[in-house]
A = this chain, B = another copy of it.
Amino acid sequence: MTQRPLPDERRPANDGRRVAARNRAALVAAAREIYAEYGLDVPLSAIARRAGVGQGVLYRHFPDRAAVATAVLEENVGQIEQAAAAPGADIARVLGVLTWHQTQSAAFINILHADGTANRSGIPAYASALSGRVERALRAHLPDDHRLAAAKDDLMIAVAMVSGAVTGPTRELREHRALAAWRLLGVEVGPVRPFDDDEGGQPPLD
């Protein structure tokens, strides 16, 4: 019966891993919410508090501020890449997912447009890598005759312009302003929403 685990040796470890995974997910979710409300410069203690864990647990998963921000932003960028890789993807649709994250996360906007100056969050180097991944995801779907394909910098300048317009106390208002900005740029944008993995296998909507 070598298959049967010894309770004292195996179960605590499994439980521990499960608790650890749950704690990490709770911390990333809490950080996402708090960043969306306050930006990246919130104290880590606020994130631990919202996640319902002690600060010791937070530090076990994330050694510093940058590690928490990275985990959240990695998922923002990952969604845009997934949207670009999905069947039926086109520039309007990928811009729609990008715009969702712009309206939902001030932190995401910060990393998109980090210009190399120091800040307290400590992520500018990582930010430019993430920003590059967003640009590649968009550019893969940019037709040669697109309004933003004429000059090299226009695509990411336009993204920065929409980020600048995305202010306001509610996500709805920020989405309204983002759509007004794309309209002023003469750029069509697909549905503004997060990318959902489950959509991956579905046929395109249009």
Q: How far apart sit A169 and B154, CA to CA, in the bound complex (Å)? A: 18
Question: Which of A157, A168, A180 has most B Cβ within 10 Å?
Answer: A157
Contact A180 B151 (CB under 8 A): yes
Minimum distance in angstroms from A157 CB to a CB of chain B: 5
Residue of B nearest to A120 (CB): B41
- Given the known A-B contacts A113-B164, A184-B185, A185-B185, are A157 and B169 also in contact in the complex, defined by CB atoms under 8 Å? no
Contact B167 A184 (CB under 8 A): no
Minimum distance in angstroms from A144 CB to a CB of chain B: 17
**Contact size range, A:** 20 to 34
A161 sits at the interface (CB 8 A):
yes
Contact A184 B154 (CB under 8 A): yes
Contact B184 A116 (CB under 8 A): no
Residue of B nearest to A147 (CB): B184
A23 sits at the interface (CB 8 A):
no
Number of this chain's copies in the assembly equals 2
- Given the known A-B contacts A184-B158, A184-B185, are A165 and B167 also in contact in the complex, defined by CB atoms under 8 Å? no
Contact B161 A115 (CB under 8 A): no
Contact A153 B180 (CB under 8 A): yes
Per a CB cutoff under 8 Å, which of B113, B116, B148, B167 touches A115?
Answer: B167
Minimum distance in angstroms from A62 CB to a CB of chain B: 24
Per a CB cutoff under 8 Å, which of B153, B158, B180 touches A157?
Answer: B180
Q: How far apart sit A115 and B174, CA to CA, in the bound complex (Å)? A: 11
Residues of B within 8 A of A164 (CB): 113, 160-165
Residues of B within 8 A of A161 (CB): 161-162, 164-165, 181, 184-185
Residues of B within 8 A of A117 (CB): 38, 169
Contact A181 B169 (CB under 8 A): no
